[in-house]
Copies of this chain bind each other. A is one copy, B any other.
Amino acid sequence: MSLLKLASFPPATVSPGASVLEAVEVMAEHAVGAVAVVEHGILHGIFTERDVMLRVVLRQLSPKDTRVREVMTAPVETITDDTSEEDALVHMVERHVRHLPIVNTDGQLTAMLSIRNLLEHRVDELARELHSLDQYLSNDGPGG
């Protein structure tokens, strides 16, 4: 399955000049923990709730007066939509990141993949397997 089917589309984005407070508002609105930082279609970086905590609150910076470009992570690692689910998950766990922007062959941002997207898909699969097993046991299984 293409990762695009699991990822958040369209991805939540802000411009590098947005304030941290504006970025937090975008994350709250989309119910996500990261925004892609984009200007003129170019992906400049990523800004996450972990960055809000460690780079803004911990340093006692003002969320209103601090620009995203000052506290974002850049350059940012990206994947393409033909990356496998397994590779994406292992990459996230090993690199301690919860989000990976998906870019197309022109390097343009197309979606944002979160570790939650991958896990929810796994849990759905597990639920389907259990449901099939349940059907088997009640309809065709031994001991009727």
Residues on A facing B (Cβ under 8 Å): 20-21, 24-25, 27-28, 33, 49-50, 52-54, 56-58, 60, 63-64, 89-90, 93-94, 96, 115-116, 119-120, 122-123, 126
Option from B25, B60, B119 in Cβ contact (under 8 Å) with A63 = B60
* A52–B63 alpha-carbon span in the complex (Å): 12
Quick one: closest B residue to A92, CB to CB? B119
Give the shortest distance, in Å, between A76 (CB) and chain B (any CB).
19
A53 B52 Cβ-Cβ under 8 A: yes
* A24–B58 alpha-carbon span in the complex (Å): 6
With A49-B53, A53-B49, A53-B52: A58-B89 Cβ-Cβ less than 8 Å: no
